[in-house]
Amino acid sequence: MTEDKLKNVSHYFSMLDYIHGGVCLLQKDYTVLFWNECLEDWTGISKGDIIGQEIDQFYPHLKEPKYRERFSTVFEGGPPAVFSSQFHKYVFPCFLSRKRLRIQHTTVEGIRLDDDNEIYAFIACQDVTDLTERIHAYRTMRDQAVEEVKERERAQQALQEAMKELESFSYSISHDLRAPLRAIQGFSEILAKEYSTSLDEVGQHFLNNVVEAGTQMNQLIDDLLAYCRISDGQEQGYIIPLQQLFEKIHRQISNQLHEQQGILELPGITPDIYVNESLLMQIIMNLITNGLLYHRKNIPPIVKVSCEIKNDFLLLRVNDNGIGISKEYHEKIFEVFQRLHANEEIQGTGIGLANVKKATTLLGGVLSLESTVGEGSEFFIQLPIQNKNKIDIMKNYV
């Protein structure tokens, strides 16, 4: 190309000096015809130095077949070549800072200039460093998020496995522990009832001890099983009217009431709401049973249960005239296996109140206690009422 023509080209393309991206024009023999200001700025190579020279002298890697072959295609009138940032990173390596190279997205297109038939390679270089970095950061973030989700899934699975284990544990409690216990209780009862004449007084006393221990062990298994069930939630299915729950409680407690010569006052009018049978049963029954059990010597127990609805909460009060609980134990009594009294005094398992607490928490409620030693206790439970209609709740049947 002649000197004149070079000048013409420079003039022709001068607008491209204002563009924010590298532009370069090559002749078929790889001589540089145009080099815009942006490229001067990026590479530090001035127009004067590079124009008229072969590009390979400055960038020898462009001799490599992966570039050369695609340039040739363009010079022969073929489709444009794209050197993407992902595969090639940069066609004209240039530093952004000491360590960072500018990442480029480069397209090479064949163009014809007005006055001849020859095809020139028009190279347009876009700086995609920022974009690439942002994409990279986004990908890292996404990978992290995916990893976190996986982690959570793993934890969930582990939790489910633990739940299953607990379930099979409680299942085994109910079966494997109960069978030998039933034998101990059954045969010792038969002995006590039908063979007691063959035993002297001491022998009979010992036998009674066996019967008593068996009864206690049985209660312990019942309570422990209830505790396991509350946590694995398997018995959460049944929803019944509160009224019906109190009727059930009344039936179940009558024997104990008679034994303890106690008085139980259940609410006369109950709010017309549906409640979770097994959890509410755990809560109210345990509190009533405790009230009857922990009575003052020679004072017959009186337990009063009341309930009302206030601002979408069911407020339950269970009040007794028993021995009371001193303030320092108000937290401790809700822990499993915590007992304040020796077996000789009062027969409890130390699980009842833990069950009350657990069931209350599971229902999203709160539990508090007011008590005066020697006068009695009042347990106060506040449970949110779910705003579902009855049909929705019925769907929850397991």
Partner 1 sequence: MDILLVEDQRMDIELMLYALKKSRSPCNIVVMQNGQDALNYLLDDNSENQHAGHSWPNLILLDLKMPGIDGHQVLAKIKQTKHLKQIPVVILTSSSELKDRIRCYDSGANSYMVKPSSYHEFKMLIDKIREYWLELNTAAEDS
Binding site for partner 1 (CB under 8 A): 171, 174-175, 178-183, 185-187, 189-190, 193, 214-215, 218, 234-235, 237, 398
3-state secondary structure of 367: strand
Q: How many residues does the chain have?
A: 398
- CA 101, CA 104: separation in Å to the nearest integer? 9
- Residue among 179 and 202 whose Cβ is closer to partner 1: 179
Report in angstroms how near the CB of residue 204 gets to partner 1 at its nearest.
17
Report in angstroms how near the CB of residue 255 gets to partner 1 at its nearest.
11
- Residue among 216 and 338 whose Cβ is closer to partner 1: 216
- CA 232, CA 159: separation in Å to the nearest integer? 11
Report in angstroms how near the CB of residue 225 gets to partner 1 at its nearest.
8
Report in angstroms how near the CB of residue 201 gets to partner 1 at its nearest.
22
Report in angstroms how near the CB of residue 205 gets to partner 1 at its nearest.
19
What are residue 145's phi and psi, to 5 degrees?
A: -60, -45
- Residue among 6 and 210 whose Cβ is closer to partner 1: 210
- C-beta neighbour count of 350 within 10 angstroms: 16
- Residue among 178 and 317 whose Cβ is closer to partner 1: 178
- Residue among 60 and 180 whose Cβ is closer to partner 1: 180
| DSSP assigned state of 111 | E
Report in angstroms how near the CB of residue 176 gets to partner 1 at its nearest.
8
3-state secondary structure of 153: helix
Which letter, b or e, does each residue of 136-167 get, where b requires 16 or more Cβ atoms within 10 Å of its Cβ? eeeeeeeeeeeeeeeeeeeeeeeeeeeeeeeb
- CA 191, CA 198: separation in Å to the nearest integer? 9
- Residue among 175 and 395 whose Cβ is closer to partner 1: 175
Please choose, from the candidates 216, 155, 229, 221, the residue with its C-alpha nearest in 3D space to the C-alpha of residue 185.
216
